Structures are given as C-alpha cells and as structure tokens.
Structure 1
Amino acid sequence: MASTLTAAFAILVVIAVAVQPARGAQLACEELPPDVCAFAVSSGGRRCVLERTPEGAHRCQTSAVGGARGLAAGWVETDACVRACGVDRAALGLPVASAAAEDRRTLRALCSPACWDGCPNVVDLYATLAAAEGMSLPALCEAQKKAANRRMMMAGMAPVGAPVVAPAAPPVVAPPVAPPVAEPPVVAPPPCEEW
C-alpha cells in the first residue's frame, strides 16, 4: 500500500514538472482572444497588442516591445489591474504615454498605489513607452502628486499623507486696560443756610 502511494506520488511529481514548462510556453499573442490581448506578455517575452484586420475585426498580435523584466513570460493582465490603472483593454495598438500624461484621470490612476504597487506589468509598459517618448513616468507621478497636494492645500484640505490637524485658533487677546485715571477730589457742598 505504501509503495502504491509512493509510486502514485512520484508519477504526479513527474507530470507536474513536465507540464509546468509546457504550460508557460503555450502563450502566443496570436492565439489570445481580443478581450484579454492588451497588456498580455507572450511566452517569448514580447507584449501583445490589439490590432484591426483589413476586414475590421480585432485580432491579437505580438509587438516588438518587450515585457517587464522580472515578470514571468506568458502573462495575461488581470481585470483588477486594468481597472486599478485606468487603462482600456479595447484600445488598439500600444498606448501613447504622452496622452496618458496629459489626461489627469489616467495619470492619477497609473500613479495610484493600487496600480503602482500592485500592477508592475502595466506600470512597466507605460514607463517603457514614456521613456521612449523622452519622459519619466516616476517624475510624472511625482509632479502629479505635488500638483494634487497643492490643489488640496489651496482648497483648505490636508494634502495626501499629511497629518490631519485642527486649524489653529487665533490667539485670544484681552482688550487693553486703560491706566487708572486720578479722580478729582470730592468737594463737599457748601452748607445750607436755614431760612
């Protein structure tokens, strides 16, 4: 009985090891459906891009842009990251980083902690494309954060990350006290004459 379990376990391990590389090697952009194409990375490490055929249909193609370093090849971006980063899976071609930089809402979403910290694939794509256009995504995010803080301060709100403190009340100043004035001496009325 023990040898049967050991043999079964060994077979499962062999299958798992054999299937793992094959599973990762199967992701080809051209085989992806259009609704998950954008922001995917092929097994060859190239980014997938949604394009329109001459007939007007959408198809997924492999682009010349490489995927994020450190991420596993064969990556399909999650819907949660697409929402957090404010990007559109239905957009044709590679995104234009300068257009994202001009759109405050998109830039705010790309620079948000949810996107920046949780979606390295999307951040890497936009950082790579921004660098190709002569821009720095981290610098754009820092400028966006400072501008947002400045707008909040002008509106009387605490900037992001600042401690919330009650507004200081103006100092209470007592009204000035006049120096004592010497009162004139009390003069007794003249005696009354009797009639």
Structure 2
Amino acid sequence: MASSAVFAILLFVAVAAQSAIGGQLVCEELPADVCAFAVSSGGMRCVLERTPEDALRCQTSAVAGARALAGWVETDACVRACGVDRAALGLPVAAAEDRRSLAALCSPACQDGCPNVVDLYATLAAAEGMSLPALCGAQKNAGGNRRMMAGMAPLGAPVAAPVAAPVAAPAPCED
C-alpha cells in the first residue's frame, strides 16, 4: 500500500511540474517510477534506461505515440489492468509471452480505458507484421481455446513467411 501512495505522490509531482512549466511534459524530467508508458508533449514515448552508474533515468525514445496522447502519463490502474510492467527497461517487448498477458492486454478494462498502452502495443505488433485488434478478436472468439492460441505466433514472435509449393521444372522440348 505504501508503494501506491509513493506512486500517487510522484505522479502528482510530475503533473504539477508539467503544469508549472507551461504544460510541457519532458521525459528526462520524469521520475523513473512514472517514466514507462508516458508520452512527452512532443509526442515521443518515454523509456526507462539504466545509466553507466547503474541508476535509472527517463529518456525520450525515437518512437512516436498517437498524436492525441502527447503529454500523457499512464495511470497505475491502467498498468495493472493491461498487465504491463512499468519497471521494464526500454520499450516493452511486443510479445504477450503467455495467454494471461494477452488476455490482460485484450481485456475490456485495458482496451476501453487505456488508450496509451493499447496504442503502444498495437504499434509494436504492427511493426512485427501483426494486428493487436485481430489477436484480441481471435482470443475472444476462441474463448481461451488452447489449440487456437498454440497455433498463433505471439506478438513480437517472428512470423514464418508462407511457403509456396515447389514448381516443377518445364519439360524439355523435343524437336
């Protein structure tokens, strides 16, 4: 419970600091505890990184967030609802490593209430040639069917290219 209070205070300080500097959210000015799943006022995603001295710091990434999310710091409730880890370094892995992670990411609480997390994972999935909405739809339609999920590559996993049937060489012409 104490960590929730500390997080709430840090979030309040970050938002107050943002207001005091004219509404500009700068990743490098965010505390490490609120860095992940934040989007700077310039629209770039914030990432948590480790310094050479082994300290954690917030940095601006080269990955853009949705335009409507500029200046966004994700809530602790969304982090829990979507099953994501605010302490992860760098950009999160696009993979939902297991069905439980995909279920949390596809849950109505996450999909309907946490546009920042959904946008990030949809962007990461698209970069891997996959569609988060399609994966969520398949998961919902399968109703937890293990066979369906086992046959589907997780988000972020390499997807095998379709293999064409071998083509027979043309028969030699006889004159």
Scaled by the length of structure 1, the TM-score of the pair is 0.62
Task: Quickly say closer, same or farther: Cα 1:35–1:105, change in 2 above 3 A.
Answer: same
Q: Deviations over 1:1-57 (max 9, x none)?
A: xxxxxxxxxxxxxxxxxx9795322x1100100000000000111000001111111
Residue matched to 2:101: 106
Task: Quickly say closer, same or farther: Cα 1:144–1:30, change in 2 above 3 A.
Answer: same
Q: How many residues align?
A: 129
**1:44 aligned to which of 38, 42, 45:** 42
**2:116 aligned to which of 114, 117, 121:** 121
Q: Which stretches of structure 1, 4 residues or longer, exceed 4 Å deviation after superposition?
A: 19-22
Scaled by the length of structure 2, the TM-score of the pair is 0.69
SS of equivalent to 2:22: helix
Q: Flag structure 1 segments of 5+ consecutive residues without an equivalent.
A: 1-18, 152-195
Residue matched to 1:56: 54
**2:28 aligned to which of 12, 30, 42:** 30
Note the aligned Cα RMSD (angstroms).
1.9
Q: Please say which structure displays the higher CA radius of gyration.
A: 1
Q: Flag structure 2 segments of 5+ consecutive residues without an equivalent.
A: 1-17, 147-175
Distance 2:72 2:142 in 1: 34
**Percent of aligned pairs with the same amino acid:** 84
Distance 1:109 1:140 in 2: 12
Letter in 1 for 2:118: V
Letter in 1 for 2:72: W
Q: Of the two structures, which has the highest relative contact order with CA contacts closer than 8 Å and spacing of 6 or more?
A: 2
